[in-house]
Amino acid sequence: MEKSAIIEYLKSNEFEEIEEIKYKDGTFVVRFYYDFDDSEIEAASAYANDECEEESEGEVWYNEFVIPYLDDIVVDNVGEIIENCMEEFNLEAQFITYDIDEEQIEYAEIVAQFSEKGEEIDIEKVMDDLKL
Give the pLDDT confidence of 62-110 residue by residue, as tens digits. Answer: 999 999 999 999 999 999 999 999 999 999 999 999 888 888 889 999 9
Pairing mode, strands 107-116 and 91-97:
antiparallel
Q: What is the pTM of this model?
A: 0.89
Query: What CATH number is associated with residue 15?
Result: 3.30.70
Provide the domain count of the chain: 1
> Other C-beta atoms within 10 Å of 103: how many?
7
Report how far apart, in Å, the C-alpha atoms of 37 and of each of 19, 91, 107, 123 are: 22, 29, 9, 27
pLDDT over threshold 90, residue 132: no
Residue range(s) defining the domain that contains residue 52: 3-130
What share of the chain in percent tops pLDDT 70?
A: 100
Amino acid identity, residue 94? Q
Q: Which residues contact 73 (CB under 8 A, 6 or more apart)?
A: 36, 40, 44
pLDDT at residue 9, rounded to an integer:
95
- Residue 7: enclosing H or E segment and its boundaries? helix 3-12
